[in-house]
Structure 1
């Protein structure tokens, strides 16, 4: 974030930057880089404290959690215990992936309510739905039902000071009767209540263009997953800046997207190990994209 400096110098620099690339006004205000902790799913359950220390030292200030359940909480830690470790390392869990149990399918709110409580304790801004099981997304009617459930969950989240988001993979872009599931989710959810976390890799992997989505649905994509496609095997991830995705035009359109948080994620194909990879990705973003 730009600090207060000499008024004339600051104003001149800011004006020049906005005239040259107005969409990059976002990056002047938001320099926080986030990590989806699923990237470290092999390391995190073994030693949460040591892993989060490494995340902080790698340059990240935000994280997105995963894996919460009523039974196991966060890898055996209560939300309060996890919050303490995050605080000790200067990390903020601004979002979390919560599976919500069977809520999307049968409306059972037990896991949803527990997830909301956990997200509140972590002082998160977003509660994010990460996945829809295959048997429940086979038709347009299935997606309409999911959209309706998302609206319901979003209302409960809003009452508790949270925002609901939906994270995509590639299956949402499959067509059913000439319309994609993702179009249904965008059109059938309340745009003031349900937001979207756009996984840039999966959008591109499905053959679609994030920039087109930004143009057609401005402001709805409040979060991104930033992960690159391996040059040799596009089914694999790689460190940011090492693959085939050109992130510069995407970050240049951040304002149109509406993005307020983004998270590095790498699910596989680490160059050396996952800790080295998250550092490489963070360094590239810091030096080249924001």
Structure 2
């Protein structure tokens, strides 16, 4: 698959180990159906994180993994949301109690191998198929101004209603990030960060530094984490970057900036949280090796 090739290429160019990010970017069993949030008393080690988010309804942190969707709280144990063990590949929060995701149905479940685009309006308790069931596996999802941008099988796809999709540029990328104003789309590639100002139809040349994951919480608060775990911030939409710190654990698996101060990052050793704009991080939950 092109997305897997892209992940390997990105890491190879950056001179880092391939294994960890390939595991973070690829999987074969997750999406999300469930019954009630925290219905399971399951407390366990997290592994293979694919996405992070915070529900604006209550501030709860959600972790999308190879084996289900979890909530985590500082000094608490991860809790499985509902009873689904699907593989959540793409994941993003779009509103209060409302998330969208993609990935693969768990072995033995009634979900298809590629679940397409699914949505929950009850914070992960239950999920509804919105489109492309049995067809698409989005590895990156982001949204702004009511428009969703997804990266699937080497192509950027865009939807304003979660039902119909417009196929746009083809490229080898690992992650997408759209500006809060919805007027600029960025993608991480082996050549650096590439930018589109026409909704993902075309992209310019890559600019350094090479980033693995991006998250754009406000116009002047764009964050990127490179393949070694170095976190940087940009106040000009990715034209220039200021290195902030190295997130504990090194190689990243996911990055989400909730706002200019609150940042979540997953590396090979754990899920970490910053409340000071990325200057320092504390552990929310460890990851299984």
Normalised TM-score (structure 1) = 0.30
Normalised TM-score (structure 2) = 0.30
Higher helix share: 1
Query: Which one has the largest radius of gyration?
Result: 1
Higher strand share: 2
